[in-house]
């Protein structure tokens, strides 16, 4: 078992503090969901874990198996098993999905070892079939001209190919139609297992019917104000966040 630990994390961008003492434990084998109002810092959390250079960690720590990863470059973190499915994935003009994933996998191999092309394509096609993506996608440039839903599906394809230890899914459900939601959830579920820990950020309880979380956290104003089981998501769906944003709610924050 591996362990991703966020320890009393404070993060700023410029002068403004966005994460204000956030703690979270994510062991492999578990799925945690994070819900929270717009602007509460969910994407910030995901990007800081991945090592985005715009954010400054002012105090606290992010540890994998007890070792701080704060000094690591984003690519080193990725190769160590951290994967972020972006809320807004970037386009990479002219670089095909097949070439991109190939380069990403090649980057994980030891010096002098070449990725085996036949095995690679077999795996790529298998994962595309799982996500019901047409083969023509392999030769399209990464995210270029993709619909919102296609981008999200492409993120999950990448996750399936890279088989991360810790997957951070930032609003992967937004932009997906109901059929796509089922397909993508199926793809995500097939990666669940004792080797993988997942952090699923979403606004909609509906997703959690398909990807059933072990824990649900409510994030408000850069902190986790409430944690519980999947029933907590139902409460949020029914009552919104008002109860959690009230001053006394902050007092019960972990």
- List of residues contacting ligand ATP (CB under 6 A): 13, 18, 36, 38-44, 54, 87
Residue corresponding to tokens 């994998």: 64
CA angle 220, 152, 196 (to 5 degrees): 70
Interface with other proteins, residue 41, by CB under 8 A: no
Interface with other proteins, residue 117, by CB under 8 A: no
Interface with other proteins, residue 103, by CB under 8 A: yes
Q: Which helix (H) or strand (E) holds 49?
A: helix 42-50
Closest separation in Å from C-beta 44 to Mg ion: 8
Q: Scanning residues 28 to 47, which ones bind Mg ion (CB under 5 A)?
A: 42-43
d(CA 254, CA 175): 32
C-alpha count within 13 angstroms, C-beta hemisphere, residue 211: 32
d(CA 100, CA 79): 15
Closest separation in Å from C-beta 84 to ligand ATP: 12
Interface with other proteins, residue 126, by CB under 8 A: no
Number of residues that bind other proteins (CB under 8 A): 30
Closest separation in Å from C-beta 125 to Mg ion: 32
Q: Out of 32, 86, 183, 213, name the contact with other proteins by CB under 8 A.
A: 86
d(CA 42, CA 235): 19
- Nearest-10 Cα torsion for 136, 139, 145, 151: 80
- Applying CB under 8 A, the span of 48-56, 145-153, 190-198, 199-207 interacting with other proteins comes to 48-56
Which is nearer to Mg ion, 47 or 153 (by Cβ)?
47
- Applying CB under 8 A, the span of 33-41, 45-53, 178-186, 200-208 interacting with other proteins comes to 45-53
Pairing of strands 223-228, 215-220: antiparallel
Q: Out of 45, 69, 78, 87, name the contact with Mg ion by CB under 5 A.
A: 87
Length of the chain as a residue count: 254
The count of other CB atoms within 10 Å of the CB of residue 127 is: 21
Residues that bind other proteins (CB under 8 A): 50-53, 73-75, 78-79, 83-84, 86, 89-95, 99-101, 103-104, 107-108, 111, 141, 158, 162
């Amino acid at each position: 078992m591996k362990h991703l630990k966020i320890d009393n994390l404070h993060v700023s961008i410029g002068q403004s503090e966005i994460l204000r003492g956030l703690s979270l434990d994510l062991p492999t084998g578990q799925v945690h969901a994070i819900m929270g109002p717009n602007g509460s810092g969910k994407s910030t959390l995901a990007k800081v874990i991945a090592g985005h250079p715009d954010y400054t960690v002012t105090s606290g720590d992010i540890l994998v198996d007890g070792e701080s990863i704060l000094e690591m470059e984003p690519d080193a973190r990725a190769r160590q098993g951290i994967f972020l499915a972006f809320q807004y994935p970037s386009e990479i003009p002219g670089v095909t999905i097949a070439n991109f994933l190939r380069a990403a996998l090649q980057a994980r191999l030891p010096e002098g070892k070449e990725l085996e092309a036949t095995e690679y394509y077999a795996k790529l096609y298998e994962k595309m079939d799982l996500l019901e993506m047409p083969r023509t996608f392999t030769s399209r440039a990464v995210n270029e001209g993709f619909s919102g839903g296609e981008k999200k599906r492409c993120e999950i394809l990448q996750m399936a190919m890279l088989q991360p230890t810790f997957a951070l899914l930032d609003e992967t459900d937004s932009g997906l139609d109901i059929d796509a939601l089922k397909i993508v959830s199926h793809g995500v579920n097939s990666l669940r297992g004792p080797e993988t820990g997942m952090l699923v950020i979403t606004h909609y309880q509906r997703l959690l019917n398909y990807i059933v979380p072990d824990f649900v956290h409510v994030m408000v104003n850069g902190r986790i104000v409430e944690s519980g089981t999947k029933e907590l998501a139902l409460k949020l769906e029914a009552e919104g966040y008002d109860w959690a944003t009230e001053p006394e709610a902050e007092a019960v924050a972990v």
